[in-house]
Amino acid sequence: MFSKKANQIFDNVIKTYKSNTAVEQKCINPFNKKDNLIDFLLQEKCWIDAIQWAYEDIIRDPNINAEDALVLKRKIDASNQVRTDTVEYIDSYFLEKHKNITVSEGAKINSESPAWAIDRLSILALKIYHMHLETIREDASDTHKENCLKKLTILLAQRTDLSAAIDDLLFDIAQGNKYMKVYKQMKMYNDEDLNPVLRASKQ
């Protein structure tokens, strides 16, 4: 099933990324983009998420100075754009894969595309990884560990449910029982023509 492969890739990405203490790391991608595009994109996607998770932790430091926070905010914005682009590349892969499928009469569209569900699966892998660490923290109280273990159990159940939903969606698309459309995010705040502040700064 697709979700099993995706979860394995996500877990391996996090393990590889966490083996190095550096926050900013170039993606180590074992997959060939030409021969194995979807696995390549899944690897890239989770790597972006792992770095951004670290960014989000750092920027919440109450003692961070304003200049460092601004630099980091810019990095988070740039990372978000790459993340969105990668999600759209994943959807483009599925559109191309299923372009010749005959859509059944009465077929319905899903509330979100496959790639945006996969995006949530990648983030969930990171939540599971970090919550597990909280359950084994030597400096944490037993109460903290017990609470985090309960949360971890819920996250694992959520991954099971989301994985099944993604597999069902991809199956339905392949059978023509559902169809997909991709609406580009069209983020306006990074576009000099659409963001009035950026537009004014260029005048």
Question: For 159-184, how does the pLDDT look when each residue is reduced to its tens digit (9 = 90+)?
Answer: 999 999 999 999 999 999 999 988 77
Domain count, the chain: 1
The tally of CA atoms less than 13 A away on the side-chain side of residue 15 is 6
Whole-prediction pTM value?
0.90
Range of the domain at 36: 2-201
Mean pLDDT on 7-19: 97
CA distances from 124 to 15, 94, 190, 194 (A): 14, 21, 27, 32
Query: Cα-flanking dihedrals φ and ψ of residue 108, to 5°?
Result: -115, 160
Q: What is the mean pLDDT of the chain?
A: 93
Average pLDDT over residues 45-58: 97
CA 72 to chain centre: 19
- Tens-place pLDDT, residues 103-136: 999 999 998 999 999 999 999 999 999 999 999 9
- State residue 195's pLDDT score: 73
What per-residue confidence (pLDDT) applies to 187?
A: 66
Instruction: Give the DSSP per-residue string, the chain.
Output: -HHHHHHHHHHHHHHHHHTS--SS------S-TTT-HHHHHHHHHHHHHHHHHHHHHHHT-TT--HHHHHHHHHHHHHHHHHHHHHHHHHHHHHHHHTTTPPPPTT-EE-SS-HHHHHHHHHHHHHHHHHHHHHHS-TTS-HHHHHHHHHHHHHHHHHHHHHHHHHHHHHHHHHHTSEE--------STT-TTT-HHHHHHT-
